[in-house]
Structure 1
């Protein structure tokens, strides 16, 4: 999305944008004034009547120095003086245009990022966010939360600003950077400055003792230190990601539901992974008779890494399929049991954890302590919890860890290239193993699915959702989900039917329910007319929901549990 569309969407132009607009209006007024004076002078002083358009052409030629008009020479000294003045002012306008518009636009010379900021109030200041800044900033924009990003990397700040994000260059340990970001009007500060988190928190507290501070850290053991320093909330995205992966792995061995969202009383939405050897494995969605057997409705499905909303009835459910389903709690639990293989626990239900960093340790604690599932750990560095020492991107090491007969492999290594190679090798050793992968780059999610992963979570997406939930209490089917659910106003579609709305065709989102007068309708007729005071419940990927909010210019409403 370019800078202009972002400015229009927020309804507030930056200082630089306003300067350019004022300049263009001023230039137009100057040319119009010159045209009127010249046309009058030609008539009164030179005795030559001509159209206003002829005078406009002469003024334009003179100011742009492309010529001095076909009306020369002029007999009146006043007209000659006016022409000289107009020529000099045209040169001045040309230099001003070059300095203010042309040079910053094409060369980026002497860029003042502060001048690009629109006036801020009740906004969030983000400091040194290094988990793919665009993911978080898009999340904040989607929620209608204004922000300023402070980055000590000047090149990154310029790149983000050029893409239309509110970013400035500065040090979060410098009070002047926060003053330039209008901290006196801010609602919260988010710091992700690593070892400089403490310094940043102390700097903020010295300026605004009352502002909310949210600290992100990759070391969950520092939570008490950061809170003592002055942080109101401490988030550890990698630990949360490890918990989510472990919970997803545990759900493969039980019918217990995780990350359900309550849409209304008696109606929940969740994701359920289909296991190899289950009653659903190898069956088409049409023939699965999920609704008849369990009472749950299939809203969508991840099939071979592609989200289908709604799924093709003839699509075959495979062991890497993740079903997005709705229904009451009992129905969803019954479907979860149906998606499991019918067999007793054995070696095939053990878990291999590859990588014992922050993510791996968090996953291991959930698997062993909370679910009592046998686990084998692999890491390149020996330690008290490491069972196999070696590079996980090696067939021999994976064989030693028991991947060939394991039920689940959790790939928790920090390097995405290593994670992708490990996924491919594990899939070649055991086509039936469930592979759950952590990725550091959100753009690598699709690559992991193509490499053979059954489920993928990215650190940037987890981080952005945790921050969004902390700021707004927003509910989106859990931080570890690949799907997003939002309740949105229906004003843009008033008087249209669902079939005429073009929601799915234009955005990729699907409407799964509609609320009217406090009553929620789940089984929607495509010919149902949408009322202006309706509330629609939409589902889609993060990108699809962002596209919906942007295309139809609406803001999400919190889902009620």
Structure 2
């Protein structure tokens, strides 16, 4: 049987649904116009007694349907012809709407999307080539820091949505030089990639356009860092491993004042703001710890970011950890007064459980001190955990020794499993400290409700890491960077402790003075020449203190 083909040799079955609809529309329109032309031509001759050519009738029908006029044929004398003309007009209006819907609107909808005209002028900016985490969270961080950027998004609908929401986003393929040029890659200072296996291709293409470009790349595994460095990546970030390391450091790093023969002691303790704490929503400046005359707020962890010291405007939320220094009895007293807040002496736990022995769990174990006993749990025996089992089963956690463990680090593969693990662990032990990793930032609150003490979101940490890299600030500094030293009080003679604590920009603070065998922390205490001051701060700040204060 001979197949029916059009003049281009295309079989009708090869037509798309839209093409078939277009053919049907054209055939239908032609049929309607032809029908009205024949009827009108007959009516003009039989009813109006004004015979005319078929072409004149065709012209009048088209003019009527398109509402462009009626020519010399109007008016009409017979009712039938007037009804016919009204019918032609209404048909023309209906066909106009159909034409708009079938032809005009789809034509514009299918026009290649180019959002470049919405971009502001860029220079020394950041180009983001794909981003697999929460894109808006990252872009909000950059905009908050007033950092210029262009996001190249391969998904057309996502690119349009972001652009419509006011973000600097274009649709494109970052592996294509033309799309990188649309993002003015030659004038950019930094390229951020989060594109998986396409990362190497994107980086090499971008460096051809701008060899001075600094490149930050997100990667699922630390094993790719060497290869990425070979293609020109300046810094590789593996969020899962980084957060696993951070959780381990948070759970284990001790901070203590050096022992002294005279028995002087200042206790340094973390106070964790839990989900049911009355401190929730309180500004740092209004917290009872800051207003206590004998206590010093040394630092604070806010969603995994170390503020040393905290800003008075920082808000305490159920993910805040405050590092407080002062007499042990004073800390115990104020902790007992704060219902819902749980304090933890900053010491090395005797036993730690790591639930999930993937990239994050492995990094957590590697970050632990050698004197910490750790038990790893994973359902895959190929990863070599100590215990093979489902961490959402109570028996598995009991076998791991949850009754005797001081902390549980949760680095399982998905958020649902993490939340269930947290809930099971909390039901088994009310005392164990639970530190967890989630992917979605919106799951952070759910993790707290399930019983977690400390939660880091991959999406949020990734966004802040990028913002910090661009802004030149360090994020997620480990607790081990907090140092306490004793120093000669001579540079502070005559000052009160309160005066020495009113310059937070220095990064260090005087938390007390040692005098006559006792530690004085009251901010009204006047520092004398024979005293020793106890100073707390970051590694860098303490080094700066030793260079600029004690040596002067």
TM range (shorter): 0.5 to 0.7
Distance 1:454 1:131, change over 3 A: same
Q: Deviation of residue 238 (structure 1)?
A: 1.9
Equivalent position to 2:157, from 150, 155, 158: 155
Alpha-carbon distance between aligned partners in 2 of 1:219 and 1:394, rounded to the nearest angstrom:
28
Is 2:255 aligned against 1:255? yes
Match of 1:174 in 2: 176
Is 2:385 the partner of 1:386?
A: yes
Structure 1 residue 410: deviation in Å? Answer: 0.6
SS in 1 for 2:381: coil
Counterpart CA distance in 2 for 1:416 and 1:156 is 24
Shift in alpha-carbon separation, 1:214–1:343, aligned structure 2, 3 A: closer
1: CA distance between counterparts of 2:248 and 2:165?
Answer: 37
What residue in structure 1 maps to residue 455 of structure 2? 456
Per-residue displacement from partner, 1:131-154 (whole Å, max 9, x unpaired)? 111111111111111101112222
C-alpha contact (below 8 Å) 1:271/1:323 kept by paired residues = no
Deviation of 1:213 (Å): 1.3
- What's 2:270 paired with? 272
Instruction: State the alpha-carbon separation in 2 of the partners of residues 176 and 434 from structure 1.
Output: 52
8 Å contact kept, 2:218–2:237: yes
- How far apart are the structure 2 equivalents of 1:204 and 1:224? 19
- For structure 1, which runs of at least 5 residues remain unmatched after alignment? 1-64, 66-97, 258-269, 277-284, 481-511, 523-559
What is the aligned residue count?
A: 354
Tell whether the 8 Å contact from 1:250 to 1:371 is kept in structure 2 after alignment: no
SS of the residue aligned with 1:383? helix
Shift of 1:429: 1.0
User: Partner of 1:165 in structure 2?
Assistant: 167
Larger Rg: 2
Q: Give the corresponding residue for 2:350.
A: 349
Which of 201, 204, 209 is equivalent to 1:207?
209
Native 8 Å contact 1:408 1:433 kept in 2: yes
Aligned pairs (5 A) from 1:24-423: 111-251=113-253, 254-255=254-255, 272-274=270-272, 291=292, 294-296=295-297, 322-325=320-323, 349-367=350-368, 370-383=369-382, 385-423=384-422
CA RMSD across the alignment: 4.7
Q: Secondary structure at the match of 1:247?
A: helix
Q: Assess, with a 3 A threshold, how the Cα gap between structure 1 residues 271 and 149 changes in structure 2: closer, same or farther.
A: farther
| Paired position in structure 2 for 1:40 | none
Deviations 1:306-359 (A, max 9, x none): x998999xx9x9xx88543577xx889x969x98768998xx831110111111
Partners of 1:179 and 1:301 lie apart in 2 by 38
Q: What is the distance in 2 between the residues matched to 1:429 and 1:203?
A: 53
CA contact (8 A) 2:301 2:322 kept: yes
Find the aligned partners of 1:311 and 1:232 in 2 and give their Cα distance: 32
Give the Cα separation in 2 of the matches to 1:151 and 1:190.
Answer: 12
Counterpart-to-counterpart distance in 1, 2:428 and 2:192 = 43
Query: Partners in 2 of 1:236 and 1:123 — Cα distance?
Result: 23
Q: CA deviation at 1:403?
A: 1.9
Shift in Å at residue 112 of structure 1?
A: 3.0
Write the distance in 2 (CA, Å) between the matches of 1:128 and 1:301: 28
TM-score by length of 2: 0.55
